[in-house]
A and B are shown apart, each in its own frame.
Chain A
């Protein structure tokens, strides 16, 4: 008997059955899954963007508001200058149509060991927690959100949702299927492992900055 059979058999014995759930029960389980069980959630205020910004500030995320996406290129350059960073970014392929200033060195692709700053788009944001949701794809390499010291994210106001469950709906509506990797990032990397005192910049980005576009 292999490990799989052994485990499933003991599970069933503990549940008082010899085989899997009976057909009506399986139908009930499938129905539960298809109908998306609704659990209690913390309430979210009517102004989603206001709550998002408030939650982001709690976790040391910074935000620049832009009127339109034409301003993105220069806003990225300004952010780098403000923090005295080299004028170089690695961007995800999904942003390659952006008009970048000539002074900015732009590389498109996955993160390289030497990259200090990255810019990516996102799938949506969650007002409940101040989180940015990103799904890995050929257009959106996951390493860009973890390896560089500075992660900049482009977010549109219309992408701000109330709860995690709304993000699941967006994910399920994606072409193909659920993404292989879904990242819900909420602020720069931190650790409390030395005497329970929070330090920013453990392994992931030291800064997480959002460009919020109308």
Chain B
């Protein structure tokens, strides 16, 4: 009787310390609502294409405007996560690592363009207090 095949799998194969790009975006998205009194929230939509790529869309959502959505940016990544491509302001930006992604997302959400968009949404809903609060945070 042949001997059973040894277990070749590494002991730590079932554990992963990786944060996927989607998880990173979701963490960032979850922080917006508290800063706008839930008037403008952020969400991440994920889809997969027939090309084997995963698409992550970072969208602002305004529940009071019949769940109006504004797509701020999106990225696509392979199953191996990096390098990925992020699309913002009409430009494809290459992102090589988790650190670079976090830096880029920080830059986008802190940009004057994003601030202007969120303030415009707050104004549409008629939430001057929140709008001023956000502006005063500089």
Co-assembled chains A and B? no
Give A residues with C-beta under 8 Å from B.
none
